[in-house]
Amino acid sequence: MKPLLSLLTISMISACAVPPTPASRTNVPDSGVSAPSDCQEATDFAFIARFNLTLALRPNEKTERQFSGRLEWRRDAENDRLLISDPLGRGIAQITHPVGGHFLLQLADGSQREAADAEQLLDETLGAPLPLAELAAWVAACPGKGALVEPDAAGRPWRVRESGWLLAYRYDDENAPRPARLDASLESVLKLRLVFESWE
């Protein structure tokens, strides 16, 4: 069992669903359009969100691995800091990344792991690829230049296809600059749902 998975609380959660089409959404071809040219990745943000993570079946397994909890992510010009907690708010893992340094994973039992890139660390820990660099842009609803984007009526990303991932956003209202929910899925490998509780 991967170190972090042994600490995560397993919960019976539904698989991530794609949000329904907004009634006011403009018609966009299924092939999508290029990402907005004025979309810039947010360098600084902080949020608290609930997460649901579903991982694909492994050999000899009969059920999917499903986990839930809370995620606090603070990102600025000097550091990335992610705190992962169980559904009761008890911290079980923290990932930090100072500029120019390695990614460091600290578990609740005091053990630590270090890696040169986040993908390696998360793949070794979770047993599934989770691109932290791209996710930092995706949570801010800022897909890359090569992404296929279907906007909502307000021009914000609604459905996005990028690097094999399907992203689906939901906003609280037509003026909300930040998403209220993000569903991200990588084919049949994993599904991640983030329900944002607060943004800074």
Establish if 82 belongs to a structural domain.
yes
Average pLDDT over residues 74-81: 89
Residues 6+ apart with CB under 8 A from 67: 5, 8, 9, 10, 11, 52, 53, 54, 55
**H or E, element range at 70:** strand 65-75
How confident is the model over 26-55, as pLDDT tens digits?
Answer: 333 344 444 444 455 456 899 999 999 898
| Beta bridge mates, 183 | 168, 193
**CA gap 118, 107 in Å, rounded:** 15
Largest CA distance in the chain: 52
Q: Supply the CATH number for residue 142's domain.
A: 2.50.20.10
Q: Which domain holds residue 71?
A: 33-199
Establish if 28 belongs to a structural domain.
no
Establish if 23 belongs to a structural domain.
no
Reference 197, options 48, 74, 9, 69; nearest CA is: 48
Count of domains in the chain? Answer: 1
Q: Write out the two tokens for 156.
A: 């914000």
Please name the residue ranges forming H helices in the chain.
Answer: 118-126, 132-138
Establish if 1 belongs to a structural domain.
no
Q: What is the pTM of this model?
A: 0.78
Establish if 137 belongs to a structural domain.
yes
Establish if 14 belongs to a structural domain.
no
Candidate from 1-10, 127-136, 137-146 with smallest mean pLDDT: 1-10
**H or E, element range at 11:** none
Establish if 130 belongs to a structural domain.
yes
Asked whether 181 and 170 are in contact (CB, 8 A), the reply is yes
Query: What's the half-sphere exposure (Cβ side, CA atoms, 13 Å) at 153?
Result: 9
How confident is the model over 78-99, as pLDDT tens digits?
Answer: 888 999 999 988 888 898 988 7
Asked whether 64 and 45 are in contact (CB, 8 A), the reply is no
Establish if 135 belongs to a structural domain.
yes
At 54, is the secondary structure helix, strand, or coil? strand
